[in-house]
Amino acid sequence: MSDRWSDYASLFVAALELGHPIYEIDRRWWERHEVFHVLDSDDARITAALENMVASGDLQPYAGDGWFEVFN
């Protein structure tokens, strides 16, 4: 019976040893590659311009109260 447990333990350790490099390769690949670029170049430029307008104060983010302010 003890021989069976050592076989199971060695299989478990071997599976961990094989799985860890695969996990590390996958993790590092996802860190380096920004896969989720969903905006095309025109949309990205518009988004960047809107973010700059918010950062400079020209455009205020929507507060969520249901009323819009009109700026002149």
Residue pLDDT, tens place only, 51-68 = 899 889 888 766 666 666
Q: Indicate whether this model's pTM tops 0.85.
A: no
- pLDDT confidence of residue 60: 77
CB 45 within 8 A of CB 53: no
Mark residue 61 as left, alpha or beta (left: phi above 0; alpha: psi -120 to 50; beta: remaining): beta
CA distance 66 to 51: 22
CA distance 50 to 58: 9
CA distance 48 to 19: 41
Write out residues in the chain with pLDDT < 70, as ranges.
1-3, 31-39, 61-72
